[in-house]
Amino acid sequence: MSVQGVLLYPGAGTDSNHSSLVLIEESLRPLPVRRADFGYRLAGRKAPDRAPVLLESVRAEAADFASSLGTTTASLVLGGRSMGGRMCSIAVAGEAAVAGLESAAAVPAAGLILIAYPLHPPGKADKLRTEHLPRLDVPCLFVSGTKDPFGTPDELLHWTDTIPGPVTHVWMEAKGHDLKGCDQAIVSAIAAWLSTLG
């Protein structure tokens, strides 16, 4: 099944009007792109909700977006920046334990776009966010800065090697977690990768 739409979430400290997400939507037309916000942002709060609440948002938004397109979530690519992408990857993996849930069905998807994936908190390389990666059997695109304190290239390459699905890495040289000034390069990487999915 070809990709019918792209659902993107922002990082924890921004919203869906982030410049790179807006540019992705504009540049991928006519492919439908939905930029979504988590509930805490919509409520005007700055602190993210706990993982179960965030994951429920991803599940509900993906189902609603797919329904609006007359398709299923299996034809959608999910993802986003930092925490947004991470939550989408956990939802697609169906990794209940990571989110503190007793059970969680995986959200079927055509692939994942993970921009500045937060492999671990800065300075805390032992607090890895990798438990669900071995359950990702869909194509994954990682767009990362080579100076990102949330994960070095070597760390990312090591841990993404545990992903059974095909993994593509695009590196933004000398860029940090915010990938400042990279919006166009991010869009180009996503467009090129999507063209390989059919």
Looking at residue 9, what DSSP letter applies? Answer: E
- The amino acid at 145: G
CB atoms within 10 A of CB 30: 5
Contact 33, 103 (CB under 8 A): no
Give the pLDDT score at 26: 97
What distance in Å separates the CA atoms of residue 90 and residue 98, rounded to the nearest whole number? 8
**pLDDT (tens digit per residue) in 155-189:** 999 999 999 999 999 999 999 999 999 999 999 99
The pairing of strands 111-115 and 140-145 is parallel
What distance in Å separates the CA atoms of residue 6 and residue 74, rounded to the nearest whole number? 11
Q: Which two structure tokens, joined as six digits, stand for 89?
A: 């990857």
**pLDDT (tens digit per residue) in 5-22:** 999 999 999 999 999 999
What distance in Å separates the CA atoms of residue 110 and residue 112, rounded to the nearest whole number? 7
- The amino acid at 77: V
Contact 5, 32 (CB under 8 A): yes
Contact 91, 55 (CB under 8 A): yes
The answer, yes or no, to whether residue 150 has pLDDT greater than 80, is yes
Question: Which residues does residue 172 pair with via DSSP β-bridges, in sequence order?
Answer: 145
What distance in Å separates the CA atoms of residue 17 and residue 43, rounded to the nearest whole number? 16
Give the pLDDT score at 102: 54
Give the pLDDT score at 94: 87
CA 179 to chain centre: 15
**pLDDT interval class at 40 (50, 70, 90):** very high
Q: What is the pTM of this model?
A: 0.94
Give the pLDDT score at 90: 94
What distance in Å separates the CA atoms of residue 136 and residue 39, rounded to the nearest whole number? 25
Give the pLDDT score at 100: 53
**pLDDT (tens digit per residue) in 79-133:** 999 999 999 999 999 865 555 555 567 899 999 999 999 999 999 999 999 999 9
